[in-house]
């Protein structure tokens, strides 16, 4: 099993597998209300069998090359994660996302982990476009998109029904050339910069 260090604070990125079901459930129980404010992630994981089924679904997606789940551990304790919600190698597009329990927020864990994930998607798998979708009111998530240098493509008004209320969804993205330029410290050129006006 691999573990990628995310800095000198004991943070690691690792695969989150079905055998982590008990640890995953305990983590969700610590942060369920916080995690569920804007997304239903893990809401159906209410006992060990359902937590295992949730993790198995992502293990199956990883095997099919259509998605993947990665956990964030801080000092040996699972505190959140980052994921490919969908992954289309043929089209060169994917959507990334995250979740975190409240005790681990404010440390930059998601931003650090997401850099690893996007680097791998672009350099390891040749992804052309990486998308980030978040509820318009989810400022912590939107701030990660900003810190990563993603571009706000637009708003899907009233798209997401969650807890009986309709939420606007903001769509952010980065293209491979923009990501590489930003990682190299060069000014990124937008894909539409060369259009004749």
pLDDT tens, 25-38? Answer: 999 888 877 776 77
In a domain, 133, yes or no: yes
In a domain, 49, yes or no: yes
In a domain, 191, yes or no: no
- Six-digit token pair at 132? 């980030």
Question: CA 52 → CA 21, 95, 149, distances in Å?
Answer: 5, 23, 34
- How many structural domains does the chain have? 1
In a domain, 108, yes or no: yes
54 φ/ψ angles, rounded to the nearest 5 degrees: -60, -50
In a domain, 192, yes or no: no
Question: What domain range is 119 assigned to?
Answer: 4-186
pLDDT tens for residues 16-74?
A: 999 999 999 999 888 877 776 777 677 778 899 999 999 999 999 999 999 999 999 99
CATH number at residue 110: 3.40.630.30
Q: pTM for this structure? A: 0.85
Segments of the chain with pLDDT less than 70: 1, 36, 40, 160, 162-163, 186-197
């Amino acid at each position: 099993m691999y573990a990628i260090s995310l800095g000198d604070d004991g943070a690691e990125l690792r695969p989150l597998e079905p055998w982590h079901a008990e640890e995953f459930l305990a983590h969700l129980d610590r942060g369920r209300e916080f995690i569920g404010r804007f997304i239903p992630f893990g809401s159906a994981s209410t006992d060990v069998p359902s937590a295992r089924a949730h993790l198995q679904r992502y293990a199956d997606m990883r095997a099919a090359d259509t998605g993947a789940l990665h956990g964030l551990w801080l000092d040996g304790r699972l505190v959140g994660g980052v994921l490919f919600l969908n992954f289309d190698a043929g089209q060169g597009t994917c959507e990334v996302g995250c979740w975190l329990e409240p005790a681990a927020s404010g440390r930059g864990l998601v931003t650090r982990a997401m850099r690893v994930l996007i680097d791998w998607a672009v350099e390891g798998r040749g992804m052309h476009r990486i998308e980030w979708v978040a509820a318009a009111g989810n400022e912590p998530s939107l701030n990660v998109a900003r810190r990563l240098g993603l571009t706000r493509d637009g708003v899907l008004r009233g798209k997401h029904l969650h807890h009986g209320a309709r939420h606007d969804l903001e769509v952010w993205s980065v293209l491979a050339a923009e990501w590489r330029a930003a990682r190299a410290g060069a000014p990124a050129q937008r894909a539409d910069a060369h259009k004749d006006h």
